Amino acid sequence: MFVLPEITTGPERLLLEAMMDRQRRAVADTARGLSETDVRRRLVASLTTPIGLVKHAAMAERRWFQGLLLGLDESECDGPTTPGDASFVVADDETLDDVIAEFERASTRSREIAARFQLDDTWTHDVLGEVNLRFVYLLLIEDFARHAGHGDILREQLTAH
Report, as an integer, the average pLDDT of 109-117.
98
Alpha carbon 3 to chain centroid distance?
18
For 12-152, which CATH superfamily applies?
dinb family like domain (1.20.120.450)
List, for residues 69-110, the tens digit of each pLDDT value.
999 999 999 999 999 999 999 999 999 999 999 999 999 999
Q: Give the per-residue pLDDT at 2.
A: 74
Give residue limits of the domains in the chain. 12-152
> Is a pLDDT exceeding 90 seen at residue 3?
no
Bridge-based pairing of strands 122-125 and 129-132 is antiparallel
pLDDT tens digits, one per residue of 25-34: 999 999 999 9
